[in-house]
Amino acid sequence: MTWQLDKAHSEIGFSVRHMMISTVRGHFSGVEAEVVFNPDDLSASKVEAKIDAETIDTGEAQRDGHLRSADFFDVENHPHLVFKSTNVSVRGTDIEVTGDLTIRETTKAITLKGEYQGPGKDPWGMTRMGFSLTGEIDREDFGLTWNQALETGGVLVAKKVKIQIEAQLVDKAD
């Protein structure tokens, strides 16, 4: 079965430590994804997602502008982040999706873990299912190396970025 992301009921989010003392959260609103998933034939499952880096939103315009700049995502030259799965495994409602994440033309393997719910029919007769997935990356592995040392020790932006995905999918056949 081929599924399409329901953008109105999904969020691709992230969080990262700022100044070693607090966490900044953000998300991308421009996401396209297609999922082939059949619980009866997991070997054929795959996920492909394309994220518009320009749509980053941390709730602070100046910070978002800096994240779009060449110091971070360099959206002028690298407008998209891309994820393509290489393996999907399910045990009960637990799911693990391993794949290649490309940011700024650098591709690294990552694993997202979580759970899925469904499938089920919505009130309008469409088949839906949901996924909650988390993972983490080292942003420097993808060329996002900008930072600033702090007088008190440590750095302005942590290396580790946590990824949080809440995705609701709709069966494309409906």
Give the pLDDT confidence score for residue 43 in this predicted structure. Answer: 67
Domains in the chain, number = 1
Domain limits for position 133: 2-171
Tell me the mean pLDDT per 10 residues along the chain, length 174: 92 91 93 85 85 96 95 96 94 92 97 92 92 96 88 85 96 82
Q: How far is CA 1 from CA 36, 39, 50, 95, in A?
A: 6, 9, 20, 17
Q: What is the CATH number of the domain that holds 110?
A: 2.40.128.110
pTM reported for the whole predicted model: 0.90
Under a CB-based contact definition with an 8 Å cutoff, are residues 14 and 163 in contact? yes
Rg (CA), the chain: 17
